[in-house]
Structure 1
Amino acid sequence: MARLDEPVDIGGVTVPNRLYRAPLLECAGNGEGAVETLIDELEPTAASGVGLVFQGASVVTGEGGCAAPNMTRVHDPEFVAGLERLTGAIHDHGGRIFLQLAQGGLRSMAVWHAGYRSQNPQLEQLAVSRPPWQLRVLDRAGLIDLSPRVLDTSEVYELAAQFGRVAGYAADAGYDGIHLSGANMSLLQQFCSPLFNRRDDEFGPDPGEPAAGGRRFLEAIHDAVREHADDVALVTKVPAETAAPAFVRRHLSFDDAVGLASDLVAAGYDAVVPVAVSTFWDMSIVRGAYPDRAWSAADLRGEYAAAFGGPLRARAVSLLNRLQARQFDREPGWNADLCRAVRERVDAPVLCEGGIRERATCDRLLGGADRPPAADLVGMGRPFYAEPRLGARLLAGADALCASCNNCTVPQVAGEPGRCRTPAIVRERARLAARGAYDRPGDATDESGPSGD
């Protein structure tokens, strides 16, 4: 049985323990102070003893492709070079940092964010194929705004090359690895999904292998990354579209995802992150309670209306959110079965995240005398919004405070930074900090992070 505090190797990179901070939205953008924002957000995690920190989805293209406001772009080598201060801060605490690369495709803000569309009417969305009929219906109803530009074969190869170039910038800036955002409705998932991918070139599906086009695109990205950064670890999420609505008949099954993960490891990926997702952007990726406090925040109502195209539409989205909260209630380690099935097939580390909040869940996922392991590393995301230095308590055997209430996530559609907005949890964090629960041996001061409100 592996222990949470044991080191693990990912593609030649030694991670000091098996706990990681999963990719989140840091909302740092690219303006003045972006690097400081990232350091303020991520350094406390490494200082608390977390072995591996993922910088959240960072967009590889110079325009479009952002799924939410204030995402960071990494297409500019000069900007990425400045991130050396961030990687150095993580390394000073003995941690490792991987950069997650992304492109939103049909999940981009130009599709769903009314205010952004009005400010950027010329923007198109990169598309794998003609959008599926479900999205076209929403477009005709005026609920979203599709302006797809279907990539031709040469553009697909060029996009893969861009991922590789950015990986090279990241390696030069001191990042230890690259993590591809291959799920959560990103463009990479759209290449893998039979709902979105109906291409008839080499990046399209094969009979009996619906994810063949996505696999080939991810293989092309692998080759491009290795051309520019041959000494960093390379990890990707692998989607199983098992949360797809009933009216979607073409989607990646559990078995499809297991096969895809196995093929990608055989192609040279150093680790995989299997995740159960939907074919659409819904609460399947942030399972938990309906965020009453976030939706009722008076200071954000105007921002929600601007994002969704008016107060009535914002209320409609809120209602849909309430209905989905019933469907996607939190299940501790909801990706465990998929991760276990993948781990039985691959000879590479498997990372598991999704609803993990308790130390006992971490230990159970890493295996025991009476059960096979589901994963080699375990990760948490939203709990680090509530407790930036959570690692110190988890590694000492405690549980996270996060209640999966999602009050931290909904405000991000308005461009708000991720932070805990649940007073009871904020107060408890303050009490724990006062008792030194976030201190580690050798700490000179208590750096428990901002208290929030």
Structure 2
Amino acid sequence: MPVTELGDSLDIGGCTVPNRLYRAPVLECAGNGEGAVETLVDELEPTAASGVGLVFQGASIVTPEGGCAAPNMTRVHDPEFVARLEGLTDAIHAHEGKIFLQLAHGGLRSMATWHAGYRERHPDERQLAVSRPPWQLRALDRLGLVSLRPRVLPTAAVYDLAEQFGRCAGYAVDAGYDGIHLSAANMSLIQQFLSPFYNRRDDEFADGVRFLEEVHDAVRAHAGDVALVTKVPAETAAPGFVRRCLSRSEAVEMAARLAEIGYDAVVPVEVSTFWDMSIVRGAYPERAWDASELRDEYAAAFGGRYRARAVALLNRLQARRFDREPGWNAEFCRRVRERVDVPVLLEGGLRTRADCDRYLGAEGARAADMVGMARPFYAEPRLGARLLAGRDALCASCNNCTVPQVTGEPGRCRTPSVVRQKARLERNGAYESGDTERE
């Protein structure tokens, strides 16, 4: 059977990516203010310089207000701002890499739901909702643990929102982006359209794929034949009390429909119906929660010290629940790949070159056509040089990088042993050449 190598090129919707390694989308916390473009360049250019073939810029919000799931997310509704991002795309292209922009909206996951400080600053903001929120969220609202002020989208507004995704895609192509990636998992608004847990509509968008079909058509109208990728969620990590959710089989069929509609690649991911540790599986981030300099920030975000401690306890319990096997989406990806004729991208817990090679593998056993990592690039922005040379990521999935982001902190490794190892590798020049002998 023919074997795919990590260094082989791949065509995604007419965009030739130089190898099969990608940086999965994560929060860059760049915002839109002065220095936003420079922040993104500082964050993402080292990855392209290290040889990574495809860089996904993390979830970027398509509306001028609302929709942010975390502080300091970037908005891309303004064509003047997006035009400035040509500085980023030029920097990536200078290293022969490709860059796709992930478009997103948080819907009920937005900060107006969960961030106490944000609600104080935006008392009139309402969350976009596909339908009336599920009873589980309404119960949390009555208990005061979240704040729901939903604005259920009428049919005309759904069409307008799909058109807005298309307009933002057009701005991105004008700024030099090579492709568009839709955030359709992690409790995003698009997942809420796809999920029977959230979607109880009685119009044409009761079939959530119809929304992605409208987005596809809007992207084609505004951005032409740009490479178009979407995540495809299976809600297999949903808690037991959730009775209506997307099964893996349903998600496989959904992926097949999206390929028929014209999506150029899919990223199958097994997630929950909620924004929980199914997204960032790994250890409980004890160091991050114990950081004295962040305690006031956590209290401001969650509405007091006791509530912050309650969230930390829930975080600890969830860390024990979710499987951490490397490539936890691999079987789902393999089943999707059997049904579609477009590239399938695998991410989720990959940390070693051996796992990358195993999941690319020989035809017949292959799980995916590309493999990606996310959190490891917080620890090693130039990780690609080492992976392509046959080495492994330093990231231990401790999650100390993720929790501080609820306060607006940038994603960076906060685990001393990993930071020390990275410093030693830098001194030895490992990231400059990928020369394993220097390690």
TM-score by length of structure 1 reads: 0.95
Structure 2 vs 1, CA of residues 317 and 268 (structure 1 numbering), >3 Å: closer, same or farther?
Answer: same
Residue equivalent to 1:159:
161
Determine if the alignment matches structure 1 residue 411 to structure 2 residue 404: yes
Q: Write the distance in 2 (CA, Å) between the matches of 1:414 and 1:373.
A: 40
Residue equivalent to 1:148:
150
The letter for the 2-side match of 1:133 is W
Residue equivalent to 1:302:
296
The letter for the 1-side match of 2:11 is D
Determine if the alignment matches structure 1 residue 359 to structure 2 residue 353: yes
Q: Write the distance in 1 (CA, Å) between the matches of 2:195 and 2:57.
A: 25
Residue equivalent to 2:270:
276
Determine if the alignment matches structure 1 residue 326 to structure 2 residue 320: yes
1:416 CA drift (Å): 0.3
Deviations 1:135-160 (A, max 9, x none): 00000000000000000000000000
Q: Write the distance in 1 (CA, Å) between the matches of 2:324 and 2:300.
A: 29
The letter for the 2-side match of 1:440 is S
Matched residue SS, 1:218: helix
Q: Write the distance in 2 (CA, Å) between the matches of 1:14 and 1:291.
A: 38
Deviations 1:284-325 (A, max 9, x none): 010000000000000000000000000000000000000000
Residue equivalent to 1:249:
243
Q: Assess if the C-alpha contact under 8 Å between 1:289 and 1:329 holds in 2.
A: no
1:283 CA drift (Å): 0.1
Question: What is the CA RMSD across the aligned residues, in angstroms?
Answer: 1.0
Residue equivalent to 2:205:
203
Q: Write the distance in 2 (CA, Å) between the matches of 1:231 and 1:436.
A: 40
Residue equivalent to 1:138:
140
Q: Write the distance in 2 (CA, Å) between the matches of 1:348 and 1:400.
A: 28
Residue equivalent to 1:210:
none
Matched residue SS, 1:203: helix
Determine if the alignment matches structure 1 residue 398 to structure 2 residue 391: yes
Matched residue SS, 2:252: helix
Deviations 1:19-45 (A, max 9, x none): 000000000000000000000000000
Matched residue SS, 1:439: helix
Residue equivalent to 2:116:
114
Residue equivalent to 1:24:
26
Residue equivalent to 2:342:
348
Aligned equivalent of 2:90, options 88, 91, 94:
88
Aligned equivalent of 1:235, options 229, 245, 252:
229
Q: Write the distance in 2 (CA, Å) between the matches of 1:148 and 1:175.
A: 33
The letter for the 1-side match of 2:290 is S
Residue equivalent to 2:50:
48
1:441 CA drift (Å): 8.3
Q: Write the distance in 1 (CA, Å) between the matches of 2:430 and 2:339.
A: 40
Q: Write the distance in 2 (CA, Å) between the matches of 1:125 and 1:348.
A: 34
Residue equivalent to 1:207:
none
The letter for the 1-side match of 2:24 is A
Which 4+ stretches in 1 moved above 2 angstroms?
Answer: none
Deviations 1:390-414 (A, max 9, x none): 0000000000000000000000001
Matched residue SS, 2:77: coil
1:230 CA drift (Å): 1.1
Q: Write the distance in 2 (CA, Å) between the matches of 1:138 and 1:118.
A: 19
Matched residue SS, 2:431: coil
Q: How many residues align?
A: 433
Q: Write the distance in 1 (CA, Å) between the matches of 2:319 and 2:47.
A: 29
Task: In structure 2, list runs of 5 or more residues that go unmatched.
Answer: none
Determine if the alignment matches structure 1 residue 378 to structure 2 residue 371: yes
Aligned equivalent of 1:61, options 45, 60, 63:
63
Task: In structure 1, list runs of 5 or more residues that go unmatched.
Answer: 205-212, 443-453
Deviations 1:370-425 (A, max 9, x none): x5110000000000000000000000000000000000000000110000000000
1:172 CA drift (Å): 0.2
Matched residue SS, 1:221: helix
Residue equivalent to 1:335:
329
Deviations 1:258-289 (A, max 9, x none): 00000000000000000000001110010000
The letter for the 2-side match of 1:400 is A
1:232 CA drift (Å): 1.1
